[in-house]
Amino acid sequence: MDAVDKILAQWNRERPDLDVGPMGLLGRFSRLRGHLTRELETEFARHGLNASSFDVLATLRRSGPPYRLSPGELLETMMITSGTMTNRIDQLEKAGLVERLDNPEDRRGVIIALTDKGFDTVEKTVTAHVANQHRIVAPLDAYERQQLNTLLTKFLAAYE
């Protein structure tokens, strides 16, 4: 019996007329999200990053050579506001991880590019991040991971 089961038992005792089954599922998602966020942030911090800064660097890295995107292209993949994006880019630029370049296709625009330091940082971080993800999901065997992934894909599709 975990903490969520205890909460459900209390509700079942106090309000037996309610089906609180979904509360258990969503409560576990919520608690798990907190644990996973802490685990991921700890690894990012080892590399001088947080989840937000890693997200920008990883988006640029996975875009392929020359590892450059317009702010609009970054916004499309990250689903954040332009003000938030500007702040993230400012911080990464101060750290020497990205640079703003003139956009050759739009004189008014810029391109955000990984610097050599940014490329090295994201390479080391993504390697550690993937290893950390394997560690995090290790309590589940390969079949259980596949089942959970299938179910979560179905569940997420209902909202996206």
Q: Helix or strand or coil: residue 18?
A: coil
**Which string of DSSP letters, residue by residue, matches 68-91?**
EE-HHHHHHHH---HHHHHHHHHH
- d(C-alpha 69, C-alpha 59), whole Å: 9
Q: Average pLDDT, stretch 39-61?
A: 96
Domain boundaries, the chain: 1-45, 49-160
Quick one: tokens of 61? Answer: 């890295």
79: left (phi over 0), alpha (psi -120 to 50) or beta: left
- Which CATH architecture fits 49-160? Orthogonal Bundle (1.10)
Query: What rounded mean pLDDT belongs to the chain?
Result: 94
Cα–Cα nearest to 79, from 56, 104, 48, 47: 56
Tell me what pLDDT residue 76 has. Answer: 87
Give the C-alpha separation, 60 to 46, whole Å. 20
Q: What is the pLDDT of residues 74-97, one digit of tens each?
A: 988 876 788 888 899 999 999 999
**CA dist., res. 158 & res. 43, Å (int):** 31
Contacts of residue 40, Cβ cutoff 8 Å, sequence gap at least 6: 51, 129, 132, 136
Summarised one tens digit per residue, pLDDT across range 140-149 is 999 999 999 9
Tokens 């920008």 — which residue? 56
Strand partners, 110: 102
